[in-house]
Amino acid sequence: MLTPAGRAWALAAAAACLLPLLPQLPRTLAAGTVAVALATALLSRRGPLPGWLRIVLALALVGTVLVTFRFGVGRDLACAVLAAMLALKPGELAGVRDARSLVGFALFAPFATFLLDQGPLSLLLGLGGACLALAALLQLSADESGDPQPATVPGRLRAVLRLVAIGLPLALAAFWLFPRIQSPLWGVPDRVLAQPGLSDEMAPGQWIDFMSDDRPALRVNFIGEVPDTSQMYWRGPVLMDYDGRTWRRPRWLGRIPAPEVARAPVRWEYRMEVEPTDRRTLVALELPGAIPEGAQAGGDYVLRTAPLTRVTRWHMQASPPRTFEPRLPALVRQAALRLPEGYNPRTLALARQWRAEAGPGNDEAIVRRALAMIRDGFGYTLDTPLPGRHAADEFLFDWKRGFCEHFSSAFVILMRAAGIPARIVTGYVGGYRNPIGDYWVVRRNDAHAWAEVWLAGRGWVRVDPTAAVAPEHIYDTIDDRASGGGLAGLPGITPVLDFGDWLRRGWNDLVLGFDAARQVAILLPIGLERTGVRGLAALFAGAAGLALAWMLWLAARAERSGDPVVRAWRRLGRRYARLGLARAPHEPALQWVERVAAARPGDAGALRALGRRFAQWRYAPAAAEDPRRLARDLRRHRPA
Amino acid sequence: MMAAPLRRRARARLDRWLRGRTPSALPVRFDRHGIYVLPTRFGAFFAVLLTTMGLGALNYNNNPALLLCLVLAGAAVASLLHAQLQLAGLEVRAIGAEPVPAGSTLKLRVHVRAAPGRARRGLRVECAGQAATLSLAEGGGEAVLALPTARRGWFDPGRIRISTTRPLGLARAWAYVWPEAPLLVYPAPEPDGPPLPLGQGEGLQSRLHPAGDDVHHLREWRAGDSRRAVAWKASARRNALLVREFEQPLGTDVVLDWDMLAGQGRESRIRRLARWIDEAERGMRRYRLRLPGQPAIGPGSGQAHRHACLRALALLPGEADAAR
């Protein structure tokens, strides 16, 4: 029953649906899945695989997945299991029914992809997979009907695109107008394996990976005043706990209430669009003013939200603090002074020496001294060796080179050893202004780590030890590395990239960021703000009705002849059909013309001439006239 | 005055409703009222799949996933329309079959026309448990269904269903046609029986036969004639080759009389007569059929005569009807 063509289409559809999911899986797992899928498809060419082999393969593959994800439960694990199952499904392809279930099952793969990633490439591949799945269904249905006429691949795809195009108005009406759920009924399961990005910890060397990732992290539109780029510090996770190797964010920090803050008179207002990170931390410029809905500020004044699994948009205010937590709670003070025993003896000794020289209470002098030391003798480079046990000692006294991770970490250890409460703040610094669309892009490689020290009377004060490096001592930076390869180095490419990002922003704005709130917002201009969901439902019903009517008209319109002359000739025939002189199906053109001429002598001359020209064009095309003129004349003719 | 068009419209509506429920005269044209569309089992599965996707996408407010789900749903709805349009405008022009003896298969031919322009391929024609595929080319097409027959007489195939699950296999669209024109099934001839009853002659009949006994006449030689048939003496006389033609006396017209077979069951009489008709036809004899309660048919021979006789036999009332 299942023809080779049907089988090939079903397999192609499954492969196309699996394709967008693969880049979202760990690389080894993706390769394994592809290998198993190919093997299954090849082995089952002559018939379904035996049951025991399928079970063995399934167990092996699912086992591999579980091990890769260290037996954690999350949506990336679920997606990997789905991919594995899809890779094995061709092994049981026997009839049309199996092929259909394969195609239906395969459609979950693009869906799963969108739970992990919503980029344009994923969407493009996903929709391509869906179209191929529909084409496979077409082929299977043709097989089932027993129609022997074969169809070409472009023909099938054209038929699918036609179906999709006919259904598109309905789909779009539902997309924009179908009432959305205000808050989720159930939460999104987390991922097991973290994506690179700002996290709640900082370990040596870990940052290099995502500092070469130039995907956008934020897009920001300032309303009114724009801060200076060098002062754009986007505060993210605050790290206080240090174990000699890794800096971590203490959990309790998010649970204690936001501290007392006195703000400087400067105020910036901006709209921020955050690319999905799967994290709960929402970075914000300086200190956020009003806390936006859906976020809470913790003891470090960093905003926490539900996991940012999709593009979210926030309306924020920011101002630099004049005083930030001037009364330091004992708990925080302890955490901001704690150092692990038995690490970095040289650093501790230096700090104690500085404290002795500065005397008690003169914290600012110590901070200045540290910055001066960095300015005089330190260099910036991404090319650093892996640290040993005493990371700060090695950095401060041996290499004297590193990047933000090293600078901030050593600086905070130095401060704490000198008795100054200090902590690391991670986030982004700066941004790039896209002249197209006039907004700021903060990329992932703008990630940065700096420090905050607590000074009496002022509270937490931002200190960026990396920025203290003298410009002539900056050696190997991200920009140097980026210009070595990739597109960014090409001359004249910048406007293209800018335009690309602007398109992406529009896509985020119109499609990805569309939610219940925005949906209600589109009702405002048409005066439906009061009716809310009911108005939306009515609007949806209306639009869906219109779309259905359009579908009916489009589908019911008989497929027209591709030739304009034939089309014009048929239309002419319809004009006479309205007068009761329809051409019978078996009637030759000229015979019909004669019949009409006899019935309507008034039209006889013109119609005879047209009929002759049409017959000439149809049956002796070599000698015939320009078809465009004939089509035009045919269109113009009206029964008198 | 107003009542007439209203009544006509009501009448038309009733006719449409009745189509498929009662036999109707051909040609029958399917319009959208008479076409039913329901999801197939795969269609139901697909609907569940899309609902799951849609709920998930709405819950997570995941717009690409929602878009995917809606595009698929839009294509599915469009496929329902397409399925219906495959049948809309289809006209069943003729349904017929050559009569066959009971017990063999009747080749039911369903002839269909439609305006060209829309591809209508792989339609399924079903009747009495049998199915065939119908594909229209150039606006016309024919499906041939092999229907088993059991009894002589009028054969009502019942409703014929024309259906399609194309384009996506998500829904089946179907329409019924119940042709008024009945089909005839001839009685099955008796397999082994006595030979043709000869000799109750009514007028002599003879036939030219090369192996006959009596010389009938002479004619000119034609290529292929046997040399033994040449009448040498006569040829010498006429100075041209002449050939003798013989004739076989064929006795008389055969009379197939119902009453001759008294003492047998009604159906077995009919079957024997049917066999004799076929034998007489094969032996190229003229024959006359006498049945109770109707004028004799014939004498005659040839296909038309045979059909007339078999038809009369096929339509003889059955045992139960005859007793009444």
Same domain as B196, residue B58:
no
Closest CA to A110 of B75, B78, B49: B49
End of a domain among B251, B266, B286?
B251
Cα Rg of chain A (Å, integer): 34
Residue B100, SS3 per DSSP: strand
Closest-CA residue of B relative to A167 is B74
Q: Is there a single domain that holds both residue B280 and residue B170?
A: no
pLDDT value for A137 = 93
According to the model, what pLDDT value does residue B50 have? 95
Consecutive 10-residue averages of pLDDT for chain A (640 residues)? 87 94 89 90 84 87 85 81 90 88 93 85 91 93 81 87 89 84 68 68 71 80 85 88 88 84 86 83 85 84 82 85 87 89 89 87 87 87 82 87 87 91 90 85 86 89 85 63 50 78 80 74 64 74 86 67 77 85 80 88 86 84 78 85
Among the three residues B135, B156, B186, which one is the final residue of a domain in this structure? B186
Q: A170-184: string of b/e by CB count within 10 Å (b at 16+)?
A: bbbbbbbbbbbeeee
Q: Which residue has the tokens 């030979």?
A: B195
Characterise B199 by phi-psi region: left (phi > 0), alpha (psi -120 to 50), beta (else).
left
Cα–Cα distance measured from residue B186 to residue B275, given in angstroms and rounded to the nearest whole number:
11
Residue B218 shares a structural domain with residue B169: no
Helix (H, G, I), strand (E, B) or coil at A454: strand
In the prediction, which pLDDT does A18 show? Answer: 94
- Token pair 């907004």: residue: A439
Percent of residues in chain A assigned helix, strand, coil, to nearest 5 = 55, 15, 30
pLDDT at A21: 92
Helix (H) or strand (E) holding A268, with range, is strand A268-274
Gap from A27 CA to chain B (nearest CA, Å) = 24
Residue A474: what are its φ and ψ, rounded to 5°? Answer: -95, 115
| Residue A171 to residue A205: CA distance in whole angstroms | 47
Surface of B (146-165) touching A: CB under 8 A: 164-165
pLDDT band, residue B1 (cuts 50/70/90): very low
B124 in contact with chain A, both atoms CB, cutoff 8 A: yes
* pLDDT computed for residue B44 by the predictor: 95
- Residue A288 has φ and ψ, to the nearest 5°, of -65, 145
- Residue at B13 is within a domain: no
Q: Select from B53, B71, B117 the Cβ nearest to the Cβ of A164.
A: B71
B103 vs chain A: nearest CA distance in angstroms?
28
A423 CA: distance to closest CA in chain B (Å): 36
- Write the Ramachandran bin of A527: left for phi over 0, alpha for psi from -120 to 50, otherwise beta: left
ipTM: 0.75
Phi, psi of B179 (to 5 degrees): -70, 140
- Cβ proximity of A95 and B36 under 8 Å: no
Nearest residue in chain B measured CA to CA from A163:
B75
User: Which pLDDT belongs to residue A289?
Assistant: 81
Which residues in A lie closer than 8 A to residue B124 (C-beta atoms)? 145-146
Number of structural domains in chain B: 3
The verdict on residue B122 lying in a domain is: yes
pLDDT at A189: 66
| Residue B102 maps to a domain | yes
* B63 and B176 assigned to the same domain: yes
How confident is the model at residue B209, as a pLDDT? 54
Q: Which residues of B touch A101 (CB under 8 A)?
A: 45
Interface of B with A in 56-75 (CB under 8 A): 56-75
Cβ atoms < 10 Å from Cβ of B24: 18
For residue B145, the enclosing domain spans: 20-186
* pLDDT at res. A485: 43
| Structural domain contains residue B114 | yes
Whether B295 maps to a domain, the answer reads: yes
In angstroms, what is the C-alpha Rg of chain B? 32
Beta bridge partners of A235: A284, A427
Stretch among A563-572, B79-88, B252-261 having the lowest mean pLDDT: B252-261
Q: Which of A157-161, A341-345, B81-85, B320-324 has the lowest mean pLDDT?
A: B320-324
B46, B60, B163: best mutation site toward chain A, by most A Cβ within 10 Å?
B60
Separation of alpha carbons B175 and A416, rounded Å:
86
Tokens of B303: 């296909």
| Same structural domain, B127 and B194 | no
Cβ A171–B78 below 8 Å, yes or no?
A: no
Whether residues B109 and B91 fall in one domain = yes
Q: Does B35 touch chain A (CB under 8 A)?
A: no
Across the A:B interface, residue pairs with CB atoms under 8 Å apart total 169
B53 interfaces chain A, CB cutoff of 8 Å: yes
Q: Please report the residues numbered 177 through 206 in chain B whose beta carbons come closer than 8 angstroms to any beta carbon of chain A.
A: none
Residues B159 and B67 in one domain: yes
For residue B97, being part of any structural domain is answered with yes
Residues B30 and B170 in one domain: yes
Nearest CA in chain A to B60: A184
Q: Based on the fold, state whether residues B42 and B179 are members of the same structural domain.
A: yes
| Same domain for B120 and B86 | yes
- What pLDDT was estimated at residue B240? 82
In angstroms, what CA-CA distances link B17 with A560, B22, B217, B235?
Answer: 32, 9, 71, 80
Structural tokens at position A44: 């089952």
The full DSSP string for A473-508 is GEEE-HHHHHHHSSSTTSTT-HHHHHHHHHHHHHHI
Q: Is residue B299 situated within a structural domain?
A: yes
B91-126 pLDDT, tens digit per residue, is 888 888 888 888 888 898 989 888 776 778 888 898
In three-state form (DSSP H/G/I as H, E/B as E, the rest C), the secondary structure along A207-236 is: HHHHHCCCCEEEEEEEECCCCCHHHCEEEE
Task: Please tell me the predicted confidence (pLDDT) of residue A195.
Answer: 64
Let me know whether B216 and B311 are in one domain: no
What's residue B249's pLDDT?
Answer: 55
Q: Nearest-5° angle of CA A194, CA A81, CA B169?
A: 130
Q: Give the per-residue pLDDT at B215.
A: 63
Region label for A400, one of left (φ > 0), alpha (ψ between -120 and 50) or beta (otherwise)? left
Q: How far apart are CA A81 and CA A394, in angstroms?
A: 45
- Return the pLDDT at A483: 45
| pTM above threshold 0.90 | no
For residue B92, the distance in angstroms to the closest alpha carbon of chain A comes to 15
> By the 8 A CB rule, do A121 and A114 touch?
no
Task: Please check whether residues B38 and B146 belong to one and the same domain.
Answer: yes
Q: How wide is the angle at C-alpha A372 spanned by C-alphas A367 and A374, nearest 5°? A: 100
Burial of residue A498, with CB atoms counted within 10 A of its CB: 0-12 exposed, 13-18 middle, 19 or more buried: middle
Give, for A177, the enclosing helix (H) or strand (E).
helix A153-177
H/E run at residue B299: strand B297-300
End position of a domain, from candidates B236, B251, B266: B251
Tens-digit pLDDT profile for residues A230-287: 788 899 889 999 988 889 888 888 888 888 888 888 888 998 888 877 788 888 888 8
Is B228 part of any domain?
A: yes
pLDDT at A484: 42
Q: How far apart are CA A632 and CA A233, in angstroms?
A: 68
Q: How confident is the model at residue B15 (pLDDT cuts 50, 70, 90)?
A: low
Confidence bin at B41 (pLDDT 50/70/90): very high
